[in-house]
Structure 1
Amino acid sequence: MREFVVKVFQPLNFKAAWYTQYLLKLEDNIPEINPKIDSNCHEWVNDGDVCIFDVAAEINYTKNVKYRFAGWLWDSSSSVVKPLEIKTNKPMVIIVKYDPWYFISLEGCFIKPIVYGCESTSNGAWCRNGSEITVEMPTKSIGFLIVNEFDGWSLNGESFTSAGAVSMRVDRPFTLTAIWRTNYTGLIVLVASICSICSCIFVIRFVNIRGQTIYKRILFTLIKNRKIKRKLAELERLRREGKISEEAYEEIKKEIEQES
């Protein structure tokens, strides 16, 4: 109620002046956060006033969930401009919209996977709720002698797929872990080859028998056997020609055979 006191000393004519105000309500679609809305207008606003509204572009909720500004809604109108300016000419309910974004963690990756449909980071990707994400491992094996071979993906710790690329709809945070198995075949083949080469060299060039190489030992044995054969042949000739007795033949033959 408006009152005023005036001292009358002449005729007066009073006329009431009225102005219109409209109720302005500000709402949002994430009540669990209740984001701050900055504005020069609050609740009752004079007809014709220009109201300015602004909010944060991004709000972190948890380490795996955040909200991003998506636009404004009022009556049958909408806008994605920030800040928003509106001339008041009727009661209004203005709603600020935020979209939830979820973090997809990518673990166990020897190389960075290729991510489609979301915003890739160094260790994962941020995805808007409802978006489709595709994660692809660009190569199936890494390494030279010890090779890590890609064997599939696990989802939140449980085996998911053996495919190199996985696609799914995002409606929550989750963790994709690359599964690898280690192949030692190349290393085993190399070690076996080296051992084989070393064994051959050792046998051919370095193995000694009583201080002599195998080659020299074999050569010595061949020469010795050849001399013995010649002696036995000469002894047989002397026997046939009757130049030695049978007893001498047997005794000399025994001595020659003992030389071997």
Structure 2
Amino acid sequence: MPKTALITGATSGFGRATAQRFAAQGWNVIATGRRAERLQTLRDSLGKRVHTLAFDIRDADAMQAALATLPEALQGIDLLVNNAGLALGTAPAQSADLGQWRQMIDTNITALVALTHALLPGLIERRGAIVNISSIAATYPYAGGNVYGGTKAFVSQFSLGLRSDLHGTGVRVTSIEPGLAETEFTLVRTSGNQSASDQLYAGAQPITDTDIADAIWWVATLPPHLNINRLEVMPVNQSFAGFQIHRGQ
């Protein structure tokens, strides 16, 4: 009997690559996202292994309604990949857009915990696994990271808390914390500024979406007595060097 993975934010980047990887390996994949046309394209390319649910993850009622439509064969979820998330804006806190802060909190924190809470009973029953996509921003602050970094710090700490609470259930929990990765991340953050995205990644050999999909696959397919608590991944060309120093008054 094939295992089933539910992957949020599957319309692009890490989520799409992860859906592709697991479907190719014979898993059933429940792919979720806001953009129904992209989900349909994913299903068309991967075939019957993929079941799509189109909803805004910030809408708790829509999420519950979508989960209720799952066919019986897909109701037993073995792996939850909480990938949906975003960064918005690069301004310092004192000039940031409060609406953007709230959207990041609603997406990266509130939606993630709501979906996790909804699926926990089934994950416990099946001795499943949870992979939460955090970020190196959870550990290493940078100017303009403010609320984004805070939301990812929550994801990392929540993962450790889940791991503690689920002690003895057999459920595994992992926080994967990528560094510089070339996806649509910067385009979303800069409201579609392609030149800013190109400049950030130019010559840097960043992480790719398939790199993270490979990491998720590795974590999910380890022997069931092993748990990777957190996995920090950076491209060789990026490091955590450099503190800011302001000189003068």
Coarse TM-score class (shorter-chain normalised): under 0.3
Greater strand percent: which structure?
1
TM-score normalised per structure 2: 0.16
The structure, 1 or 2, with the larger RCO (C-alpha pairs under 8 Å, 6+ apart) is 2
TM-score normalised per structure 1: 0.16
Q: Higher Cα Rg: structure 1 or 2? A: 1
Greater helix percent: which structure?
2
